[in-house]
Structure 1
Amino acid sequence: MISADPTALHFNSHQARLLDRACKHLAVHGGPDTQGTAVLARRWAAALYKKLDATQRAAVDTFVAGFGIALYFQKMKIIESDHTPDQLPALSDLKRDLATLYLASRNQILLNLVQHRSFAFDIDNQSKQVRLVGNFKGGGRVSLPNEKVTDQVELSSHAGVCLGLHTEPPYYCAIKPEAGHSPAPSSLILTARWNILNEPTRILPLPSVVERLNGIEALSLASPSFMYTRSECLTAAPNEKSIPGSILQPDSQSGFAIRFSAYRHSPIPHSSKLVTDAFRSLHTLIGSSRPLEYVLQPDSALLIDNTRTLHGRDTVKDNRRLLIRLFGYCSTATPIVLQPDPLVVRG
């Protein structure tokens, strides 16, 4: 049975020290985007799993089996000397910073703890696994030094704009490749390097939402009757055509998988009334549900099932806020592999 609520997993001091050693080892090695790090992450995750108690193992095993919504990891060690700067450093500098690599490596190990492998899409983030989520391009509550009011700000995690509830794209498929595209991420994991104003990340588990759809609505949402607008940060192939897809997809393991964005999806032109009514009903059910809020800090991380949980955030208030994100694939996902190590797949 799918859990309706996220599960908190608190590490004890011995487990936290082991994880700290692992993160330092991987960071010095170069982090998730370096060849050979994936093998090291799996080994450290296996060692950490052996140190878990029965309750912690049950939480991890539930997620591995495909029945978890989210895991909230807490009480991990932090880099004491990593203080919040006066302003957000350049993206190019942050990518090479050892503290960034430390937290990204921890994300990779925690993904491996639930038997998910980290990866990158070839069409996103310059084919790199480590994504820095911060206001680099404007759109936050406070304007950047060189930002103009007339600037068109992209709707992405590299800007400070509000991001409504969504699953991570691309939205072609959830488990197996379709039409030459790999599945959407099975999971994503977020941690914070700097979040001094305690700005929350919001998530909305979808099992209770889907259960309230009637049969006709569920069938309509499972039909290829929907389009989505491509994110500005995703690279399109030459002459690539938009392909209608479904929002809801049956899954033999967990019952269903969903691909949805509150601000990108819409029914295809001239859709039937059944389709538009189902889409409106889904929007209404999501809008009437109360998301859960998690304030991420360097000692915590949030692992989200991307097939059954939406996530989002408000407009960024503090332009120094910086999260670090990795995508994960579960063992049953079958992407189109372009590079095995570090793993890069076709988007």
Structure 2
Amino acid sequence: MSPQLQPARSIAAAGHRPIVRGPDHSHAVTHVTGRNNVDAARGRRLGLQATASADETGGGYLARPRMGRIRLQASSAGYPPVVIEQALPCGAITHTPDSKRRSVMTIVLVHGNPETDVIWRPMLRELGHDDVICLSPPGYGAPVPDRFGASWIEYRDWLISELEAIGHPVHLVGHDWGGVHVMNTAMSRPDLLLSWTIDVMGGFDPEYVWHDLAQEWRTIDSGEAATKAFLGETVEDRIQTNLSLGIPEQTAKELAVGQDQTMMRCLLALYRSAPEPILKHMAAHLADASAVPGLVVIATEDNFVGNVEMRRRAAVRTGATVVELPLQHWWMLQDPKLAAKTLTNFWSSVPVADAHV
């Protein structure tokens, strides 16, 4: 089944060029985690020589460090060639020579609660891009910085900081709470984006009320008891909980490993920072997100994010394109091929010729 994009506004495709990635894949930075990724981006802007290892920890905010090492060498243009010494599993950022830089696009994926970046893996295999960054919010598969309170506004500022470090506009995709972070970023810093995509638009409708589980998490004592029950006594307990939420078995197992007390503490703080009046406050600025093209994914069987009418109503205020998928909350896991096609169809409609001037 091919999804039908339903534009709430027309997105001009005039002057659009196909995405071009240089044939020399030595010009690539693989998915790097922690402070190393931030420092590398800063080094590129400064034209500095640097060596960074994804094995090293530095208190950064991306997904947990994995294997791999990158070597940066400064160039006169300030965009160094980068040599891959070992590929990393989540994706890569591709940098091409100056003559082709305008046509490069970077995709950034931000997950939500109670998740780590493993939720994207099946879809990544279908996307076929080598220029993808999976950003893990603090506490959700990434370390929590000192004095980080895990409020909605701190997550917005965290995401803005990560995007600034990349150094050029990106296609930003958010799922669940990741979608809230994405929308708050799109409303406040559209200059960092080529486009945005979210699947929780119903939360920005004035009539939205938090779902029952969120209401429990937001309640003192009841929330603590609920998160304790969620974690259970063993990894197997968490696997069973994930399966009950509709998460496929392999991902349920991988998620269970990363679901811990730190995630639960951040979960409680995040939900308690965002009662319905705060959601309405966020929604007051929805029109600001229309500065760049947006896509609203409506998974019609998702019962966590408001009904379809709410999601469509809020989408109109952003001027976004809307696509309905007959899927549940974890649509990118339920049908990775359809999820990838939905996103690539949208990105191909967004003019990017002048994105990296």
Shorter-chain TM range is under 0.3
User: Between Structure 1 and Structure 2, which shows a larger proportion of helix residues?
Assistant: 2
Larger relative contact order (Cα-Cα within 8 Å, sequence gap ≥ 6) = 1
Structure with greater proportional strand content? 1
Normalising by structure 2, report the TM-score: 0.25
TM-score, scaled to structure 1: 0.25
